[in-house]
């Protein structure tokens, strides 16, 4: 199985997985035009669309793609029932596409019903984890988002994380404002700046790297608490996580 990154809108990535038979799966089509160009160029046959959540920049391409490929099956969480999903899936569900098994993970936080698709070693996590950062959290869902991060943290370290946006430079700048002495983050920022200068993508990332450079995976770190002026004995790690995301909102 191979993958093509399709950059659309200003920061979105649509992911196109394909096999040697030129069958493909599209993940989070926020628009259709560029996807259709790729399908035509490589003569791919669209078998399925996977949706992680119901935001317009992740689902807007579903209807036009279905018009061109009416046999396509759409999998998504319940919140995508009005966005063309044929199969509403949640944690515990799995299915086989292109001879690969996909497991559904519930990853609430960015939206209440957000899900991810895991097909080792690949994780399609929509707007949950970004490289060096975390998706925006809907009101009242900080603890859920923290628990979604915990779930991802215990996947194998070699997991490749395919996020829905390219936000890495802003995220790593924020990370360094929180942990200015952290050598892993400093090194990562230097690498990201070089990639941005060459207009190269920074996604996918790996879980192994994120555990080092993503402050949202490191909320037990006492320097993060200090940086946020939180009491050292604050026990609930999800509250640190929540404060960290609030700080990023105004960064």
53 is in an annotated binding site: yes
Of 55 and 245, nearer to Zn ion (C-beta) is: 55
Which residue from 47, 55, 189, 218 is in contact with Zn ion, where contact means CB under 5 A?
A: 55
Interatomic CA distance for residues 111 and 33, integer angstroms: 26
Q: How far is the CB of 220 from Zn ion (least distance, A)?
A: 27
114 near Zn ion (CB under 5 A): no
Interaxial angle between packed helices 168-178 and 183-197, expressed in degrees from 0 to 180 and rounded to the nearest 10: 150
Interatomic CA distance for residues 144 and 159, integer angstroms: 21
218 near Zn ion (CB under 5 A): no
- For 200, the token pair is 């190269």
- For 121, the token pair is 């070693």
Of 58 and 218, nearer to Zn ion (C-beta) is: 58
Q: How far is the CB of 117 from Zn ion (least distance, A)?
A: 15
122 to 141: interface string for Zn ion, x by CB under 5 A: -----x--------------
110 is in an annotated binding site: yes
Distances (CA, A) of 75 to 49, 96, 102, 172, 241: 6, 12, 11, 32, 30
User: What number of chain residues touch Zn ion (CB under 5 A)?
Assistant: 2
Interatomic CA distance for residues 146 and 242, integer angstroms: 8
The residues binding Zn ion (CB under 5 A) are 55, 127
Tell me the binding residues for Zn(2+): 53, 55, 57-58, 110, 127, 165
């Amino acid at each position: 199985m191979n993958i093509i990154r399709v950059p659309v809108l200003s920061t979105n990535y649509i992911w196109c997985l394909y096999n040697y038979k030129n069958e493909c799966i599209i993940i989070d089509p926020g628009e259709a035009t560029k996807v259709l160009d790729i399908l035509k160029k490589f003569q791919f046959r669209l078998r399925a669309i996977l949706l992680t959540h119901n935001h317009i920049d992740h689902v807007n391409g579903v209807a036009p793609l279905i018009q061109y490929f009416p046999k396509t099956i759409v999998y998504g969480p319940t919140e995508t029932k009005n966005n063309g999903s044929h199969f509403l899936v949640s944690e515990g569900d799995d299915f086989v596409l292109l001879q690969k098994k996909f497991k559904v993970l519930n990853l609430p936080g960015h939206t209440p019903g957000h899900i991810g698709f895991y097909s080792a070693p690949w994780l399609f996590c929509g707007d949950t984890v970004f490289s060096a950062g975390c998706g925006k959290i809907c009101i009242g869902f900080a603890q859920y988002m923290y628990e979604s991060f915990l779930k991802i943290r215990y996947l194998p370290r070699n997991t490749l994380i395919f996020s829905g946006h390219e936000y890495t430079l802003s995220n790593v700048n924020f990370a360094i404002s929180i942990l200015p002495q952290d050598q892993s983050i400093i090194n990562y920022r230097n690498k990201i700046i070089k990639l941005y200068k060459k207009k190269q993508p920074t996604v996918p990332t790996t879980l192994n790297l994120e555990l080092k450079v993503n402050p949202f995976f490191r909320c037990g770190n006492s320097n993060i608490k200090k940086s946020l002026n939180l009491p050292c004995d604050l026990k609930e790690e999800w509250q640190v996580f929540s404060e960290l995301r609030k700080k990023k909102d105004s960064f």
